Amino acid sequence: MKEFIEKYALYSYERLQLQQPQLVVKWLYKQQSWYYILCDNLNTVPMKSAYTDITKTFDREIRVMGCPVKLVTELPNLAQKINERSQKDIINLVGNPLTINDFNIQLSLNLPKKLSSVWVDYDHKTEMWKVMSVEVLSANECEVVKYHISKLCGYEIEVYFTQREHLKNEQQLANTSFEGITLAVSKHSTLNYSKELLSKWEEDEEKWLQNREELFWSDSNELIKQNYNQSACLVNGSLGEANDIRNYLTLFKEINIIIPQEWIHEKFFSDLGVNEVDLLRLIEMNRIKLILPHSINYYKMNFLEKVIAVNPKSLMLSRELACNTLRNQRIRNPFTFLPFNTEEKRKFLSSLLELGNSLNIYENGTEYKWVESLALGLSNSWSQMYELLAMNGALGTYVTGLGPFIHNTIKSLTGNDYELEIIEAANSIEWAAANNAVLCPVGPLARNEENLAYLYSGVNRNWNFEIATSPNLITDGILTISKHVPVLEIAEAFEGNEIEKLRKLIMKLSHNQTKDQITETIARFNASVKHFEKNKKRLDVWDVRGVTLDSIIELTNSTVPFAGFITKQLGRIAEYIGSKNEGVETVLRRIEAKMSRTSPDVILVSRARDKIKDML
């Protein structure tokens, strides 16, 4: 039992470093059955805590329950230094305190797919791990299971094996307990999925396992490449609302749809104005891709079986979406993905807090709050992102994106707390960006998504500190087809030059375009729509909105990414107070180097209006 207690002590120590970075800690030690975190000074005031005493903050809010670890300024005799966890172990949750359900999820993800499903628990009487399976495992399979349990625990375990006839019932109870956003795993599935759909689920899990370390830790240029050329849009239908699909078919070659959960499935596709037969045909034609951020068991199974039968590539499950989103977030938010170990992160957070305190001395309250909120946001992201992404897939990507930074910035400047609204809108924006797609806001989130996209796309280079958006319409008055026209006819007609010319105009905003060129392109597109439209009395208006301050000026000369804005402000503040804070300056140089590799790509937003024009 002592082995996993040591892992819990390490976990508590790491959480302290990230959640209370102003406390200077010098290592974790052990003497007999107790662990000690050596600190410079325990008179430090806690950060964002219900307590005023750092010892109580650690004991009540950070320390893993039952773990014998305490803060000290002097070590007992014969205390021995404990080796820290590697960054690889931290990313893979090795030694993390997990519930039985969560441990079995992570274990099942790592076990070979061909191996029979197992369920494990810890037997406190024997201090051994108990492995339960329906079938008798071979000696080799037993060794494989033991190896993977040991690997997840972070130490060599003792284990015994037993059979349990009704093991599936236990796994089903575990799966049905995931009423939140924790992802179920394919090995625990008790539903009768087809071989094809189950294989898709397994592929999704494998993508995460193969890519997670590189996504969190690598500094490779390959992970920051951008693609501007796809002609795609994204519709977040998770709340069951959508506009008519004909609007999207005339403008985009590929429509990415975040489908709703089973209980509002029928309403959503009714709003799209398409029956199931035509929808499946569009999927077969590669015009529609379906995205599932939640566990696969939240969605209508018989519909997914039909989709996988006509086009397996048209389904994107949660972990693949998480991988794509993390790749895009590394471009937009390099702060979160700095390849630092835990102590290096602590030092940077401490440096930020010192910078903020210097501002406070100068009685600059607004900027002090902003710097402090930036440190708090990074602290929160760094202390939980590995667990959230491992457990929740795409639904955990908010914590690693720009949303928390924007939320903290707005709150520090205005006092208004819009975190809930920003979480929902940020997911739509980042999932669209991850798929190189234009976001088409629908439903109650539409206005928030549109406003937030302006900040995601970049801010004016000349900004000093003001947070105010200044979007302009890149294109206006683009026509779409009325509801009476068959969707398949539209899909077949609008797949070529008209869409491509319009998309190139919109997606390559970093190239100079005159107002006359924009007007001419729109006119040509509208002419093709009017030619196709059978009932010229009904032509809905569709706006495609980009975010630049001047569509004639080259984008890279007018805006910087939001992370670049943060970097600029921190540098300006440091200069203002005469600070030569090496910890902050070193990080700023790394962020600026990353920003120089890429230009601030625009988050495009398409919005449908309710009015109708008579073009005759």
pLDDT, residue 604, reads 62
CA separation for the pair 503, 252 (Å, rounded): 8
pLDDT at 337 over 50: yes
Structure token pair of residue 279: 């929808």
pLDDT, residue 437, reads 84
pLDDT-based confidence at residue 6 (cuts at 50, 70, 90): very high
pLDDT-based confidence at residue 548 (cuts at 50, 70, 90): very low
pLDDT, residue 603, reads 61
pLDDT at 512 over 50: no
pLDDT, residue 266, reads 85
CA separation for the pair 76, 86 (Å, rounded): 26
pLDDT at 93 over 70: yes
Residue with the larger pLDDT of the pair 18 and 409: 18
Of 41-45, 578-582, 588-592, minimum mean pLDDT range:
578-582
pLDDT at 34 over 80: yes
pLDDT mean across residues, the chain: 79
Nearest partner of 426 among 338, 329, 567, judged by Cα: 329
pLDDT, residue 129, reads 92
Residue type, 448: N
CA separation for the pair 80, 36 (Å, rounded): 10
Q: State the number of CA atoms in the 13 A half-sphere of 387 facing the CB.
A: 15
Average pLDDT for residues 394-398, to the nearest whole number? 91
CB 110 within 8 A of CB 38: no
pLDDT at 107 over 90: yes
Q: Where in 186-283 does DSSP place strands (E)?
A: 232-236, 254-258
Average pLDDT for residues 363-391, to the nearest whole number? 85
pLDDT at 190 over 90: no
- Radius of gyration (C-alpha) of the chain in whole angstroms: 27
pLDDT-based confidence at residue 551 (cuts at 50, 70, 90): very low
CB 227 within 8 A of CB 436: yes
pLDDT-based confidence at residue 265 (cuts at 50, 70, 90): confident
pLDDT at 414 over 70: yes
CA separation for the pair 356, 360 (Å, rounded): 6
Average pLDDT for residues 458-465, to the nearest whole number? 52
pLDDT-based confidence at residue 124 (cuts at 50, 70, 90): confident
Cα dihedral sign for 238, 244, 245, 249? Answer: negative
Q: List strands edge to edge, sheet with 69-72.
A: 69-72, 34-39, 25-31, 80-81
How far lies 382's CA from each of 336, 364, 434, 536, in Å? 7, 27, 21, 56
Total residue length of the chain: 616
- Which residues lie across from 72 on neighbouring strands? 38
pLDDT at 387 over 90: yes
pLDDT at 115 over 70: yes
pLDDT-based confidence at residue 615 (cuts at 50, 70, 90): very low
- Which residues lie across from 36 on neighbouring strands? 29, 70
The C-alpha angle 45, 51, 55, rounded to 5 degrees, equals 65
Phi and psi (nearest 5°) for 393? 60, -135
CA separation for the pair 523, 364 (Å, rounded): 52
pLDDT, residue 555, reads 38
pLDDT at 287 over 70: yes
pLDDT, residue 460, reads 53
Average pLDDT for residues 379-386, to the nearest whole number? 92
CA separation for the pair 375, 409 (Å, rounded): 11
pLDDT-based confidence at residue 536 (cuts at 50, 70, 90): very low
Q: What is the DSSP letter of 235?
A: E
Predicted TM-score (pTM) of this structure: 0.85
pLDDT-based confidence at residue 557 (cuts at 50, 70, 90): very low
pLDDT at 510 over 50: no
How far lies 279's CA from each of 255, 270, 301, 329, 400, in Å? 11, 11, 16, 31, 34
pLDDT at 334 over 60: yes
pLDDT, residue 175, reads 56
pLDDT-based confidence at residue 354 (cuts at 50, 70, 90): confident
Of 122-136, 345-359, 564-578, minimum mean pLDDT range:
564-578
pLDDT at 214 over 60: yes
CB 231 within 8 A of CB 252: yes
Structure token pair of residue 551: 């569509």
CB 271 within 8 A of CB 245: no
How far lies 569's CA from each of 31, 40, 355, 460, in Å? 46, 31, 12, 13
Q: Burial level of 295, CB count in 10 A (0-12/13-18/19+)? A: buried
Of 165-179, 277-291, 598-612, minimum mean pLDDT range:
598-612
Average pLDDT for residues 404-409, to the nearest whole number? 83
Average pLDDT for residues 60-73, to the nearest whole number? 93
pLDDT, residue 73, reads 94
Residue with tokens 């990313």: 91
pLDDT at 576 over 70: no
pLDDT, residue 329, reads 86
Q: Burial level of 468, CB count in 10 A (0-12/13-18/19+)? A: exposed
pLDDT tens for residues 69-83? 999 999 999 999 999
pLDDT, residue 609, reads 43
Average pLDDT for residues 386-414, to the nearest whole number? 87
161: left (phi over 0), alpha (psi -120 to 50) or beta: beta
pLDDT-based confidence at residue 613 (cuts at 50, 70, 90): very low
Q: Burial level of 496, CB count in 10 A (0-12/13-18/19+)? A: exposed
pLDDT at 199 over 90: yes
pLDDT-based confidence at residue 567 (cuts at 50, 70, 90): confident
pLDDT tens for residues 244-263? 888 788 778 899 999 988 88
pLDDT, residue 134, reads 81
- Collect all residues with Cβ–Cβ distance below 8 Å to 30 and sequence separation of at least 6: 6, 9, 36, 79, 80, 82
